[in-house]
Structure 1
C-alpha cells in the first residue's frame, strides 16, 4: 500500500480544484489496485481555529479537544485521498451515510498530533457501493482517536445487500434549536468543508436540494456538545451517528437524548417530529 507523507496539511484551494477534476474524469477510468495511505506525522492545533470551531458547534472551553475536532484536522487528507487518481469513485456526489468516532483518551488541546488516513475495501449496498474513509490520531506514538466515515457511491446497487443502520430509539424532545440560513457558511469557515450544497440556496439547488443543508458533522458535533452541557461526556467512548434525511437551512429542529448506565441514545428530528435527520448512540468504553 503506497504512502504519501506531508510536512503540513494540504491546502484547500488545490484540493477543491483536484476534486472537480476528479469528478469530471472519463467513465473508462481505471484506478490503481493498491490503496493509498496519507500521513501527516506532526501537526499542532491552531488555538484560534479551535475557538472558532467550539463557537459554531457549541462545545465549551476545556483542556481537551472536542471529540469531533480531529475529524476537521483529518478532512484535508480525506479530500486528498478522494481526489487522487488512484481513487475509484468520483468524489462529488458521494453521500455521507454515517460516522463513528472512538476516543480512547482525551486529547490535550496543545498536543502534537500525528494523523493517518486511508480507505477500506468497498462493499455492496442496496443503493450502490459503500466504503469507509478511516482516520486515526496518535499522540507520542499512541493511537488515541479513530474515525470511520462511511460513504455511498450511488449506482444500480445490490437489492439483497444489508444496509447497516442504528435502531430508531423512542425519545422525547429535550431541546429545540433554531438553525439560521448562514449556519453552513459558518461551519464551512471553521471546518474547511465548503461543499456548495451547504453554502447558498442557489448552489444547493444546482445539486437538487430546495435550499442549503447543514453539514452532517456539524449536527453530530452539536448533539455531543449539548450532551456534554447536560451532564458531561466520558473520557473514553465510541459514538456513531447515521445521517437519515438532509437538514434544510434555515429550520427549527428538536434534539432528543436519553442516558442509561453506559449508553446515550440521541436524535435530531424536524420540528413536528415527522422527519428524522440524525440517529446517534454513544457507548462508554
Structure 2
C-alpha cells in the first residue's frame, strides 16, 4: 500500500484542493481472537473478550489508508503528520460482535504550519454506532508562524511509570496494525523523512497509555490525545497520570513531551462527550 501511495509524491501528480465525498465501508467485520490477543500483548492490554477502545482503529486502518491514497485526495498520504486522535467509546464492544465500519474525510482547514483535515471512522453493531474515531492529520506547508515551541513547554508531570522501548515496538505494532510506514520500521526509511532512527506509532503510544489505565476506565468514555514530539526507538519514556483523568508521555531523559491526553465520561448522546 505504501509503495502505491508513494506514487503521489512524484512531481506533477495533480491533486484537487478539496476533500473527496467518498465514504468507504466494510460490513460484517469479525474479530480474529488470535490477532486481538497479539494486539493486546503488543500494546500492554490484558487478554480479554472486550475490545480495547483503540482496537477498532486497526480494523478501520485499511479503509482509511485506501481513502487517503486516492487520486482525488488533496495530499499524498506519505508525509502527512498524525497530530491528534479522539476516540468515543459508546459502550463496551464484545469480540464476538460483527462490526460495520465506515470511513470518510472531513473539515479541511488552515493551520499555522499548513493545513489540517480529519479522517472520521465509525463502527456500528446492528445499526447502532458504538465507536467513533477522529484522526487529525497535518500537511506541512511553509514555515510555522509564531506559536510556542515544544522546548518552551512547562516541566513534565511526575512519572507514574517508565517504559524502555526497543525497536520492536515499531515492527511489532506494524504487524498487528497493518501500518507498515517505513518511518516506524526502518532506519533508512526514518532518515528519508528526517528522523535519526525509527519512531513509534502514535496510536501505539495512545494504546499503551490506555493499557496503563486499564481497570480504572469507565465502560463508556471519550479519550483525546495530542501527539507532540516523536518517540525515537529505542528510548525510555515516562508515563504520568493525574486524578483529573489527564495523562501524558514524555522523554525520561529530557522531559520533552510526546503525548498529552484526557479521558472524559460519555454523555450517551451520539457525537457528544460529557464535559
Q: TM-score, normalised by structure 2?
A: 0.89
Greater than 6 Å deviation, 4+ residue runs: 167-170
User: Does the Cα contact within 8 Å between 1:212 and 1:249 map onto a contact in 2?
Assistant: yes
Give ranges in structure 1 of 5+ residues lacking alignment.
1-14, 162-166
Could you say what the CA RMSD is over the residues aligned between the two structures, in angstroms?
Answer: 2.0
1:77 correspondence with 2:63: yes
Q: Distance in 1 between matches of 2:129 and 2:3?
A: 32
Task: Measure how far apart 1:16 and its partner are.
Answer: 2.7
Q: Distance in 2 between matches of 1:73 and 1:212?
A: 24
Alignment of 1:69-218 (within 5 A): 69-156=55-142, 159=145, 171-218=157-204
Task: Measure how far apart 1:124 and its partner are.
Answer: 0.5
1:248 correspondence with 2:232: yes
Q: Distance in 2 between matches of 1:72 and 1:32?
A: 26
Aligned to 1:277: 258
Task: Measure how far apart 1:183 and its partner are.
Answer: 1.2
Q: The residue matched to 2:213 in structure 1 has which SS?
A: helix
Q: Distance in 2 between matches of 1:215 and 1:101?
A: 16
Q: The residue matched to 2:263 in structure 1 has which SS?
A: strand
Task: Measure how far apart 1:158 and its partner are.
Answer: 8.0
User: Does the Cα contact within 8 Å between 2:122 and 2:132 map onto a contact in 1?
Assistant: yes
Q: Distance in 1 between matches of 2:78 and 2:19?
A: 21
Task: Measure how far apart 1:32 and its partner are.
Answer: 7.2
Deviations 1:101-136 (A, max 9, x none): 000001111100000000002100000000000000
Q: The residue matched to 1:259 in structure 2 has which SS?
A: coil
User: Structure 1 residues 33 and 226, CA, compared in 2 at 3 Å: closer, same or farther?
Assistant: closer
Please point out which of 229, 233, 250 is paired with 2:217.
233
User: Does the Cα contact within 8 Å between 2:123 and 2:130 map onto a contact in 1?
Assistant: yes
Out of 215-224 and 44-53, give the one that drifted further: 44-53
Q: The residue matched to 2:242 in structure 1 has which SS?
A: strand
Task: Measure how far apart 1:233 and its partner are.
Answer: 1.3
Task: Measure how far apart 1:201 and its partner are.
Answer: 1.7
User: Structure 1 residues 33 and 216, CA, compared in 2 at 3 Å: closer, same or farther?
Assistant: closer
Task: Measure how far apart 1:92 and its partner are.
Answer: 0.6
Deviations 1:198-245 (A, max 9, x none): 0122221121100010000000000000111xx421111000110100
Q: Distance in 1 between matches of 2:39 and 2:50?
A: 13
Deviations 1:138-172 (A, max 9, x none): 011100000000000111378489xxxxx979631
Task: Measure how far apart 1:33 and its partner are.
Answer: 6.7
Out of 101-110 and 16-25, give the one that drifted further: 16-25
